Amino acid sequence: MKNKILKYEKSRQRMVQEQLIPRGIADQRVLDVMSRVPRHIFIEDALAPQAYGDFALPISEGQTISQPYIVALMTQALKLNEDDNVLEIGTGCGYQTVILAELCRKVYTVERLKPLHIQARKNFDKLGCFNIIYKIDDGTVGWPEYQPFTRIIVTAAGPRIPEALVAQLADPGIMVIPVGDRNVQDLVAVEKTAGRIEETVIEKVRFVSLIGSQGWSG
């Protein structure tokens, strides 16, 4: 098991040098963690040699693990501090979750599909990540028991920003979320400061659908 985790060191460095730095990922802590976390263990063995390519890959249940650059871009936009508690909606295979967990105090992650939730938990165990709390649920309503969250990240795209998530964002706090139609979305940074909400569009993106009571209906 250990040997498998250690594989692809060169591919990981190349990913950072060729895909992240040239496109403007400048936060050294984000670059360091992306160069460390073994992305290949999050996907099926047959796809492992492609794990560090410049594209999204299928996981299961028709979902995808985001392109490395998008993971880095969203993480950088969150401006994480060591004492942040982060709510993540859309655990998927858990790759983004682990990247976050390395940079903050605690990650609360919600996934609506049980097979992916189970897969992600196995990955957290393999890597010995103990600051991740997870559940199967509709994440568009947030996670009321643990609010407020100093950071929120949504890794699936809905038609609008769920009100529950804005309500559960701490002040000050930052949320990063793709919003738009089914095919193309704006990646939006939502900053809450002194009771005010400011939205900034970061980039055009293409995510799988956020399905739930404050997302798409199916």
Torsion sign, CA atoms 21, 173, 87, 2: positive
Number of residues that bind ligand SAH (CB under 6 A): 26
Q: Are strands 196-205 and 185-193 parallel, antiparallel or unpaired?
A: antiparallel
Scan residues 166-205 and list those touching ligand SAH (CB under 6 A).
none
By CB under 6 A, tell whether 33 contacts ligand SAH: no
Euclidean distance between CA atoms 145 and 207, whole angstroms: 28
By CB under 6 A, tell whether 142 contacts ligand SAH: no
Give the list of residues 6+ apart from residue 75 with CB closer than 8 angstroms, or none. Answer: 27, 30, 33, 34, 96, 99, 100, 103
By CB under 6 A, tell whether 99 contacts ligand SAH: no
By CB under 6 A, tell whether 87 contacts ligand SAH: no
Torsion sign, CA atoms 69, 43, 189, 130: negative
When binding is defined by CB under 6 A, the residue of 15, 19, 73, 111 that contacts ligand SAH is 111
By CB under 6 A, tell whether 92 contacts ligand SAH: yes
Give the residues lining the site for ligand SAH (CB under 6 A): 59, 63-66, 89-90, 92-93, 95-96, 110-113, 116, 138-140, 155-156, 208, 210-212, 215
